[in-house]
Amino acid sequence: MEEQNPEFAAMCLAPAFDSTVPLPAFPRPGDVFAAPEAEEFPGGKGLNVARWLAVRGRRAALGGLLGEGDAGAFAAEMERTGIADRMARVPGRVRRNELFAAPGGDFKVNRPSYPWLSAADAPGALALGRLAPDGAPPPRVAVLTGSMPKAVGKGFYAEAAKRFAALGAAVALDASGDALRLGLAARPAVVKPNRAEAEGVLGFSLAADGDVVRALRLLLDSAAAVVLSDGATGCWFATRGDAGSGPFVRFMPSPRVDAVDPTGAGDTMLAEFLHRRHPAGAPDPDPGAPVSEDAMRWAVAAGAAAATTRGATPPDPALVQALFAAAGPSRPSRGA
């Protein structure tokens, strides 16, 4: 499905087939399990974001790199969900990632994406040219999220953020390591690290609430708003605030759920946040304006609901609605 003027454009440089493999017990050295056949779901962080925005009735386009060997399955998923397909085709197949879930815990195997591509193939320029073609109307929001093939280069998100910002789009960045560090230099409107990703780019532990608040303030030097996911406990939201009021910092506890698979939970939370932050038919807020209580509640509700499904399957909107009613209120810290 092609959409000439999407509201949201998401980048997915490392799509994957995600699957969850249930195990009877957490493995020990030498264990052999007869695991059941696991169902594969087309996924990847950018696709997860675009898919939830489409569920919410928003116009979304997906760009990135799509292996020709699996293009049919991903194109069918985009057609089914109403996402405009702007992915650049590259040789080969997409990666396969597995979450192994056991009563004693779980672990995940993420494979590298398109290791056969080289810088000479210019995959980053190819993907960006498809998602943001010259002369096309810009999206309201560009979402740069997920890992990338080595051939793309660690500075790609910084380059893409500058290009989208120059077109007038708000940029949301969800990355890690050098891609996050370099991307912050492009001053995105929103940055969404998790706790470990923030620790990695800032260089100190976020064990205590005071450390988290310090991290949020440092990240606000580069981004107008920060959404820092904190696993099953909830999420921190911070913005630069209104003139004269100082930074806005709140923690929104997550409603409790029977989690099955965290794959896609953070992506769904980010998508719901952007859906509420940039409502259809309404003007965009000042990038540093405080986040509404309802927007925070909806975001953590969507993330929690996504953790109840296997693979990258979107949650039931009715469950999100129920969890929204159970979420909150926000508070200055986790322990307040």
Instruction: Using alpha carbons, list the distances in angstroms from residue 289 to 168, 171, 241, 277, 315.
Output: 18, 15, 5, 10, 29
Matching residue, tokens 């017990």: 25
Matching residue, tokens 């929690």: 304
Joined tokens for residue 194: 């998790």
Across-strand partners of 60? 8
> For 44, how many CA atoms within 13 A lie in the half-sphere containing its CB?
34
> For 224, how many CA atoms within 13 A lie in the half-sphere containing its CB?
16
For residue 261, the tally of other CB atoms under 10 A from its CB is 22
For residue 278, the tally of other CB atoms under 10 A from its CB is 21
Instruction: Using alpha carbons, list the distances in angstroms from residue 140 to 59, 151, 165, 289, 302.
Output: 10, 28, 10, 17, 22
Q: Please, is 161 exposed, middle or buried when counting C-beta atoms within 10 Å of its C-beta (0-12, 13-18, 19+)?
A: buried
Active site residue 106: no
SS3 233: helix
Distance of CA 276 to the CA centre of its chain: 15
- Find the catalytic residue in 18, 70, 230, 267: 267
Q: At what angle do helices 123-131 and 156-167 cross, to 10 degrees?
A: 20
Closest CA to 146 of 296, 18, 307, 245: 18
Contact 270, 45 (CB under 8 A): no
Q: Which residues are catalytic?
A: 267
